[in-house]
Amino acid sequence: MDVYLLPVVPATPGVEPPFELYCEPPPEPEPEPTAQKPGFFARMVLRFKQALREGEAEQRRQEDGAPDVAPKDFGGRAGRFVKRKLAAAVAEQRLLWHLRTVSAARLHHPATISSPRALDVAIGEFKKDFSKHRMWCAIDGLIVVVSGLLAIVPGPNLLAYYFIFRSVGHFFSYQGARKGMDRALWTAVPSAPLADLQEALALEPGARAARIDAVAETLGLDRLSVFMRRVANRPRKTKP
């Protein structure tokens, strides 16, 4: 699995810029049909994977700038709300979900920082994720005891659907963050294109977009340009 440590704001002399972890795992495949009736937890996982596919589709729709037409009926509006929440969760947690199943991973980092420092930054992010998702896994686990019972009733149940997705998602993220904290999992790889990406952030908008597109093409990352547009303007604190 390839993970990228991306600079997300222009560098300031003498100050280490903030980074974000990024990957482009393949879309969630359709589950294979089986004659055996799944148990309760297996049904939860199946519903999670169905929601994941819908969330990935919604995330791509938003990234591609498709118009957002507000449904007129309550059910349509509620469904739209759930899909937005799914898309946000996919954008935030997809890396952790996929990381939990791998036995080795490469951390590509800008050649302007050392590999040990890049690993420190990445593992620091995984430690924060571990604490956050462990807490939410416990909270949503309590909620899903109630809403999960309703989810097995035929027909739409958006509340149960959403909280099953949250509870299973936080559990998977907790597992992925725990694995990501293990240094033995990682091979750090310096990347000149990611150093170019850092330089691109200081350019004017037109030149910046063109340079980021070139870096994305060099690295073979189809959605990198969209990701950088989304995160580049986030307010952040830098360490002196």
Per-position DSSP letters for 111-128, written without gaps between them: TTS-HHHHHHHHHHHHHH
Domain assignment of residue 205, yes or no: yes
Domain assignment of residue 87, yes or no: yes
Domain assignment of residue 240, yes or no: no
Domain span at 194: 2-26+39-67+77-231
Total-model pTM: 0.74
Half-sphere exposure in the Cβ direction for 157 (13 Å, CA): 17
Domain count within the chain: 1
- How far, CA to CA in Å, does 114 sit from each of 93, 128, 189, 192, 211? 26, 22, 10, 12, 23
Domain assignment of residue 34, yes or no: no
**Per-residue confidence of the chain (240 residues) as pLDDT tens digits?**
999 999 988 877 777 888 999 998 776 555 555 556 666 667 666 766 676 666 666 666 666 666 655 555 545 565 666 666 666 666 678 889 889 889 999 999 999 899 999 999 999 999 999 999 888 877 877 776 665 555 544 444 566 667 777 778 888 899 999 999 999 999 999 999 999 998 898 899 899 999 999 999 999 998 898 888 877 655 555 444
Which tokens sit at 149? 């019972």
Sheet holding 105-110, edge to edge: 19-22, 2-7, 105-110, 186-191
Tell me the one-letter amino acid at 136. Answer: W
CB 197 within 8 A of CB 214: no
**N-term to C-term CA, the chain:** 33
Domain assignment of residue 222, yes or no: yes
Largest CA distance in the chain: 62
CB atoms within 10 A of CB 19: 22
Domain assignment of residue 32, yes or no: no
